[in-house]
Each structure stands twice: as C-alpha cells, then as structure tokens.
Amino acid sequence: MEKYSDKVMDHFMNPRNVGELKDANGIGEVGNPRCGDIMKMYIKVKDNVIEDIKFLTFGCGAAVATSSMVTEIIKGKTLDEALEITNKDVAEALDGLPPIKMHCSNLAQAAIKDAIEDYKEKKTKDF
C-alpha cells in the first residue's frame, strides 16, 4: 500500500479551490483513461495574471491532492510563470508522491497548460 505524506492527505481531505468558476476565461480538461482520473481546471486571467482558479477532479486521493496543490502554487502568478511549473514541482510541494501516483502530478500540470492554451485561444479570437 502506498504511503502518502501529511501534505497529500491534507490536500485530499481539505482540498483548496474546489468547484466551478462561472466567469472563467480559460478551461482545461485532461484525463487518464487507464486510471480513470479526470481533471478540469478553471482559470480567471486578468492582465496576464491568474487571478482565480478552481478545479473539479474525479479520481484517486493523489489526483485530488495534486489538483488542489497546483491551484495553490499558481494562483497570483503570470501565465508564463504558471507554464514553468513542472509535475516535479507539484510533487515536491506535496512532500512527494509514491512512484505509482506520479502520473497524477503530470495530469495536474497538463490541466493547467490546457486551461492557459484555452485562454490564449479565446483571447486571439477576440481581436
């Protein structure tokens, strides 16, 4: 059985920034059909800064914890700063993940990238 850090358990039991963001201007959705985890990230960007962020995740405890942690890490960052966050950064912020659960941090990071791409796509259509 995998051993989770106290931070993983805290973010799983008390996830931050859960829910839908009604006025999101960027939405990212990723999933891993093999493990069944699905993440949806909502971002509100103003002046190139992620002002607000929420997530909905269907999956295991590690998937919920990585989603929660990534929202904490990138809230208030510029889009470029957010894109620099790696799955390793997310795992390290949670004091590590069992090797079999590292794919969850990949999903969280991919969901952010997807939301930022969605935002940029919508923004170019506005011009």
- CB half-sphere exposure, 10, CA atoms < 13 A: 7
Is residue 104 among the annotated active site residues?
yes
* Main-chain phi, psi angles of 30, to 5 degrees: -135, 155
* Domains by residue range for the chain, with CATH: 6-122 (3.90.1010.10)
- Does this model's pTM top 0.85? My answer is yes
Residue 2's pLDDT band, with cuts at 50, 70 and 90, is low
Listed range (48-52, 106-110, 111-115, 122-126) with the worst mean pLDDT? 122-126
Tokens of 82: 């957010």
Name the DSSP class of 53.
E
Is residue 35 among the annotated active site residues?
yes
Q: In this structure, are residues 18 and 56 in contact, taking their beta carbons and an 8 Å threshold?
A: yes
Question: What is the tens place of the pLDDT at every residue in 27-64?
Answer: 999 997 777 889 999 999 999 999 999 999 999 999 99
- Distance, in Å, from the CA atom of 1 to the CA atom of 74, rounded to the nearest integer, reads 31
Of 35, 38, 83, 102, catalytic: 35
Of 70, 94, 104, 107, catalytic: 104
